[in-house]
Structures are given as structure tokens and as C-alpha cells.
Amino acid sequence: MTDSTLTPPDTRPVIAMGELSDYADGPALTDALASGARVTLSWADGAQAHFPLMWLRDNCACEACRHPGTRERLHVPLSPVTAAPEAVLADGNLTLTWPDGHVSAFDAGWLHQRRPGQEPTPIIPPRRPWAADYAPQRVAHADFVGSAAGERAWLEALLRDGLVLLEDGPLADEEVSRLAEHIGPLRPTNFGARFDVRSKPNPNNAAYTAIGLALHTDLPNWRQPPDIQLLYCLENDAEGGESIFADGFAAAEALRQQSPEAFRILSETPIDFRFQDEEQDIGTRAPVLSLDHDGHMLEVRFNNWIRDSLCLPAHEIDAWYDAYRQFWHLLHSPQHQLDFALAPGQMVAFDNRRVLHGRRAFDPNTGRRHLQGTYLDLDMLESRLRVLSRPA
């Protein structure tokens, strides 16, 4: 059917769709035509799309089809929908009456966002590789804790660049945990939910000594290494101890260009990673570079001190070490490596499955160096950004 009255988007009533993200300001519908196995919709902005009947029936947001409290789906799409519903436009929104009498109301803006072939406007920023002039985005501690805009800026930089700096924070024990809990629950590991990085007697980890740490990712010996690492600097006046970072995805792309064979070996050869102390023996087998189905970088696992002995056929071993050496040199080359000293009151946060981190050796006889760290799941960062993007 056709409704010739154009309803301006600002006056269109909003239909509740069991959805907390913003969809209210989408354009009104101007035409709806149910024909065969689909409904063809047109909007005031000129967009047009075909929606399969099954999809529309499955997305009915009435109280019987979607729980009004949890917003979760109750409808189970087990019956094929073959007969067309009656389609009516009212105030620029869509009402469908199905052959069995069930009525489904759809918000025009909600449908506009979900029209087939259309990617929804991304709230999560796409990853951007570090360019030659990359410098970390800085967010003031007061802005992060005091304003949604500050927290969003921090989240967006971390998701986009894989690293962000917070500065001018208090020199307070556990501040790192309080900041992390703004975003989500701390991700615990065998080093605790929150760990102290300083030179300690009887260390069970290279980070708890004063030695330099070459670029690495934390805990590649876990099946699911922590996604996001936060390191909060409380003291850093010993000589040395500067931080180093590299965009592992950018370095892996450089390796793919420079030596496709080395890239192939590191991405196709699972190797063993293993940590052992008196209580634990945690190991897993995975390649250094993991790719998605399209061959894009998904994850880097790189940590020389918890790399286990290679368990490969003898004729593959030299080629694996050669590929590893090439990737090591690329990561540590000035073109990929970022260096800066963390100041007390600064916190660096980075994507532990993309960005490698390390530090220069420090001399514990010249001063103190104390960082506090924790981890977060990426899901919690994305969730927080979606929540902060909801309509007020």
C-alpha cells in the first residue's frame, strides 16, 4: 500500500523496539508494499529496501515476541512465513498484520538502520594502524572520571589506535582498579586481578625484576590472553625503565610485504607457550600471528621468555627461527617502535592482542619504579562505548 502523506522525521512518533541504542531520529517511511516473500519499504530520505517476511516476523517487538523487561527475544522462528502480511503506514511507521492475526509494529528509523545490505553506523571505531608520525592520544584523568566525553575519547582512542595515555592522575594505591572498574570487571589471571610491577625478591616473572623487557604480549600461554592491559605509574625515578611499544598489526603487515614466506610460517605454525612456577603450569599452542577468514590480522602472540621449546618436524625448524628473527627485527626497528617514559600519575592502556609492550632495564639502586596493572575484556570497552552513545 502507499501512503502519500510525508511525515517529517522530527514529528514521527517512536515505536518501542526493545532497543536502547538511538534510532528515533531516522527518517519516516513513505511507502510499504507487501508482495510475494518480501515487504518493500521506502523512506523520506530516498532509501529503499526489501525485507524478507521471515526477518520481519522474527523481529516483531511486541510483548509476546520480545520480553518487555529483559528486551530479549521470546519468539522462536520455527514456522516458515510464506503468506504476505497486510502492510499499513501510520505516522511514518510500519504496522504489519500477519495472516494469523498477529500484529507487529516497526519503527521507521529502527528499520532504516537495519535495512539489508546496510552496515549500521559504527559506534566502535575501526582500527587504524600507527603511521610514521603516530603519537598516543592523551586524556586527562579528571576528564576520564568527570565527563562522558572524556571517557569516550579514551575508549575511542584505545579501540582505534590500540593504545591511549591517561595523565595527571593521583598517586593513589589501586587507582588503576578504580579506573578499570569504570569500564568493567577486572580480568584476573595467575598474577591476580591486579598486580604490582616492581623489582621483587624471588620474582616469578621477568616483569618483577629490573631487567629490560623486549617487546612482548602478556600471557600468550593462555588460550584467551587478556585483551586490554592497563599500567598505572606510581613511581618512576630509577635510572632507565622507559616504556616501549609497537603496533604488532602494522609490523605484521610490513612482514607480509617484506617476506610473504616468513609471514606464512608465523601465521600457519602453531607453537607452544608455557609459564611454570610452584603453583601453576599454564600452556597453550597457537601461532604467533592469527588471521581471520579474510587473512586480516586478528592477534599477535609474542613473548620470548614464555615461548616453549619448538615441537616441529626437524626440517621446519630453521625456517621458523628465520621468520621469528625477521619479525623480531621489524618490531624493534625504530620505524615501528614507540618510546617514552611513564611519569607518575600517568596510565597507559593498550590492546594486548595487537600492541606489544616492553621496557628498558632500570637500576633499582638509583631510585624506585612501581607500576600497578590490571586487565580488561574488550567486550567491556565496546559495551561501555555503546552505553555512552545512547540517547540522553
Nearest to 318 by CA among 262, 272, 248: 262
Q: In sequence order, which residues have a C-beta less than 8 Å from that of residue 316 and are 6 or more positions away?
A: 265, 269
Where in 167-226 is the site for ligand OGA (CB under 6 A)?
197, 207, 213, 218
Residue 359 interacting entry, from Zn ion, ligand OGA, none, C-beta within 5 to 8 Å by type: ligand OGA
Q: Which C-beta is closer to Zn ion: that of 164 or that of 262? A: 164
Residue 311 gets which letter from DSSP? -
Q: Cite the DSSP H helix spans in the chain.
A: 53-58, 108-113, 141-146, 148-161, 175-183, 248-258, 260-268, 314-332, 378-388
CB of 191 to ligand OGA, least distance (A): 8
Binding test (CB under 6 A) with ligand OGA, winner from 155, 371, 376, 381: 371
Under the binding rule (CB under 6 A), the answer on residue 152 touching ligand OGA is no
Q: Cite the DSSP H helix spans in 162-235.
A: 175-183
Residue 36 gets which letter from DSSP? T
- Between the alpha carbon of residue 46 and those of residues 6, 28, 31, 106, the distances in Å are 12, 10, 10, 19
Count, residues in the chain: 392
Residue 62 interacting entry, from Zn ion, ligand OGA, none, C-beta within 5 to 8 Å by type: Zn ion
Under the binding rule (CB under 6 A), the answer on residue 136 touching ligand OGA is no
Binding test (CB under 6 A) with ligand OGA, winner from 30, 59, 221, 243: 243
Integer-rounded Cα Rg, in Å, for the chain is 26
Under the binding rule (CB under 6 A), the answer on residue 359 touching ligand OGA is yes
Q: Cite the DSSP H helix spans in 125-247.
A: 141-146, 148-161, 175-183
Residue 60 interacting entry, from ligand OGA, Zn ion, none, C-beta within 5 to 8 Å by type: Zn ion
Residue 243 interacting entry, from Zn ion, ligand OGA, none, C-beta within 5 to 8 Å by type: ligand OGA
Under the binding rule (CB under 6 A), the answer on residue 357 touching ligand OGA is yes
Block residue for cell numbers 633499582: 364
Residue 246 interacting entry, from Zn ion, ligand OGA, none, C-beta within 5 to 8 Å by type: none
Q: Which C-beta is closer to ligand OGA: that of 12 or that of 359? A: 359
Total residues binding ligand OGA (CB under 6 A):
9
Under the binding rule (CB under 6 A), the answer on residue 165 touching ligand OGA is no
Q: Which C-beta is closer to ligand OGA: that of 30 or that of 243? A: 243
Q: Which helix (DSSP H) or strand (DSSP E) does residue 214 occupy?
A: strand 213-216
Under the binding rule (CB under 6 A), the answer on residue 373 touching ligand OGA is yes
CB of 345 to ligand OGA, least distance (A): 15
CB of 142 to ligand OGA, least distance (A): 24
Residue 373 interacting entry, from ligand OGA, Zn ion, none, C-beta within 5 to 8 Å by type: ligand OGA
How many C-alpha atoms does 66 have within 13 Å on its Cβ side? 16
Q: Which helix (DSSP H) or strand (DSSP E) does residue 88 occupy?
A: strand 86-90
Q: Which C-beta is closer to ligand OGA: that of 267 or that of 303? A: 303
CB of 218 to Zn ion, least distance (A): 4
Q: Which C-beta is closer to ligand OGA: that of 104 or that of 346? A: 346
Q: Report d(CA 308, CA 274) in Å as an integer.
A: 6
Q: Which C-beta is closer to ligand OGA: that of 207 or that of 381? A: 207
- For residues 299 and 290, the answer to whether their CB atoms sit within 8 Å is yes
Residues forming the site for ligand OGA (CB under 6 A):
197, 207, 213, 218, 243, 357, 359, 371, 373
